[in-house]
Chain A
């Protein structure tokens, strides 16, 4: 099974709402990622989890709160978002790399959650 699933597919939320995005994979990957993609732009890395621990936070505002409850699940909790946060949120997973001299791996992406903040 090489599938990464994301729910929901679409989400519309007001600026005062709290919502969560979910991502799941069963490939045994121990690295999981959140990306944000605006229309006609490339994906931008937000967070990286390695062995269920947050290893990279690309200076993302605190209104985005990631969580990795186990090796198969990744959540992104949303609170007090702004309209400019409307975007496609992509989850990905991969095997863990161990540095520039080591083996690197491709990432498997989910279909994304289309988020609209009103």
Chain B
């Protein structure tokens, strides 16, 4: 069953712009993770934020977590064409069994 719900389902932007994706979930979590998937390929882990953290940065990525609202956001700054992919949030109750959201398809045009 899916727990996370990403918003928007699809996002189209120009290179250099920022992209923001949101994720909502329903039950208690140990951590929330974001993954990227290029078309038809395996998933790549981007960032993990634990339930006691509110914000985390990694390069051009910024993730926030609001456990009171059961929501998270992923911000990609200064986007590039190579960022074109599907992005999934995944919740983990603490046993490394991930429940993925429906995903956001990001298209970055040159």
Which residues of A does B touch, CB under 8 Å?
4, 6, 31, 33, 41-45, 48, 56, 88, 90, 92, 94-97, 99-102, 104-112, 114
Hey, which chain A residues are within 8 Å of B93, CB to CB?
100
Of the candidates B31, B43, B103, the one whose C-beta lies within 8 Å of that of A104 is B31
* Cβ-defined contact, A99 with B33, below 8 A: no
The chain B residues found within 8 Å of chain A, CB to CB, are 2, 28, 30-31, 33, 35, 40-45, 48, 50, 88, 92-103
Contact indicator A104/B94 (Cβ below 8 Å): yes
Q: Which of B28, B50, B98 contacts A45 (CB 8 A)?
A: B98
Q: A42-B101, A43-B100 are in contact. Are A106 and B94 (CB under 8 A)?
A: no
A54 to B3, CA, bound (A): 23
| B residues near A97, Cβ cutoff 8 Å | 30, 92, 94-96
Tally of A-B Cβ pairs under 8 angstroms: 75
Given known contacts A45-B98, A48-B97, A100 and B42 CB-to-CB distance under 8 angstroms: no
Is A114's CB under 8 angstroms from B97's CB? no
Contact B96 A94 (CB under 8 A): yes
Q: How far is the CA of A95 from the CA of B56 in the complex (A)?
A: 21
Give chain A residues whose Cβ lies under 8 Å from the Cβ of B31. Answer: 104
Collect the chain A residues with CB atoms within 8 Å of residue B97's CB: 33, 45, 48, 56
Known: A90-B42, A112-B42. A107 touches B95 (CB 8 A): no
Interchain nearest-CB distance for B97 vs A (Å): 6
With A43-B100, A97-B30, A106-B45 already in contact, 7 other A-B pairs whose C-beta atoms are closer than 8 Å = A42-B101, A97-B95, A99-B94, A99-B95, A100-B94, A104-B50, A107-B96
Contact B30 A104 (CB under 8 A): yes
Interface CB pairs A-B, < 8 A, 21: A31-B96, A41-B102, A42-B2, A42-B100, A42-B102, A43-B98, A94-B96, A97-B30, A97-B96, A100-B28, A100-B30, A102-B94, A104-B48, A104-B96, A105-B96, A107-B45, A107-B96, A109-B43, A109-B44, A109-B45, A110-B42
